[in-house]
Structure 1
């Protein structure tokens, strides 16, 4: 006798189950796209598609991960065309942890709705998202789904529309590309935080020599203003040039008198946000006007990524990672 089909969840039950999966689904889409806003849209579009599925689903999570990944891959392919005409370097949208000023908790991140959370895989730190931009959409998707989120090659094949053997080759090529770029060993969080503290001290004191000392001689700074906010149109290379550029940015922040620099978690690692107090009392709420992600190795900063494009910062409220 054939087994009875699985009962279909009520709309309310299905919505509750999907909402519970939402942080993971946004994390999958974000790793593929590098855009939190696009990832949110993909997950919302997939929910609309799920609401129209007539047959009951034995494994909602498996279906949703594949459906979200397919949609994200489609969006990534079209986004690559748009990014070719982007003004200046394109950087991924950062995801922030709860904003905290040095010396204590507080700020915009406290008490956020759990629905705003995104599950970031430990492997998907900010510098890696930058490197993923160098992969083809299919390579990136195959690597993210298999190596980060643990999908089988059969499952990934359903997403990219290729055979499992072809997907295995895509992931292998992606692995080789990333290995060639990621020549430095992972940094212990405590070591990273110590470097960030030294970087912050020198920067905020305007200490050019001290800042140069904490920067790797070959450090690279990439700025993303999107043609809307003034930023470096090309990467800035070298400790002295990067230090002078950063101190110039901070001087403008101080001169304005309406912004301040705060410690944040940028994709899980300590970095900085430039925030502007808003509201009738001049500080009831804050708006993020810049995010600085730091990559460290060997006790020095090797990469600085500065996101100033307002379109990439509009939704930042200090999201827990």
Structure 2
């Protein structure tokens, strides 16, 4: 059991670490209260602004004691560093002795990185120009990581099977468990689960067949993107980056950036595809396949018996799953040009 530590003690240890290892003096700090449990600050120092993130062990429960599990976060930060060093639009993780996760005396791990300018744009409100910029940046990110894997850069060499490979049997078992748990749930929740089951039953082998594997950000949604006007200034929060399927980044970006008012903004979808194609090939039908694959992976995260008590963010994701399910057979037409 990790000893309890107050926020003041944690801030003091962070300040001492920055002074000792980076020779910077903290002048002030602004706590960012977003996300689940992990503590984050924008820190003003005598050498500029830094972003500090402390990983809260309770967020990850017993998994945090697993060295291999923690190593996944280090790998994700190293992938972010690769992208930054290639000229990618993201913060620079500050490394010490080759590592980007740093251990404080209290036993907490943290990451320190530069700050990027820009503001978040609400989900569904990005528009064509921002989606074009996001498409270009996503393609650049995937290309950098693919190239690093081909040339043998250590962190980019896959050590496992791709994450989020689909299994019809596992999907059906999960649905049965959720359906049993929803016996006393409201009618609209049971209706949502019934629609979910209808899609699962209709899945073709092409829907379940994984697209090409590769490194992916896996959290490419509105809250992890910064813009100045129409220009993308940064992709942030690489914690989930893993060897998986880059198509999941495409599907998540389309769902988060172009779904508004119960439908997809076709011009914004086309702009995203155009931006991606300007840097990297995108075969016809790729975005439809990507959106369907994301639905298959994420549907059980957001459509479940407890969703009635969810906060704003899960409600948005649940809406994306529901709109996709209701329009499953029309996705080719709705995402025309993909």
| TM exceeding 0.5 | no
**TM-score, with normalisation over the residues of structure 1?**
0.25
**TM-score, with normalisation over the residues of structure 2?**
0.24
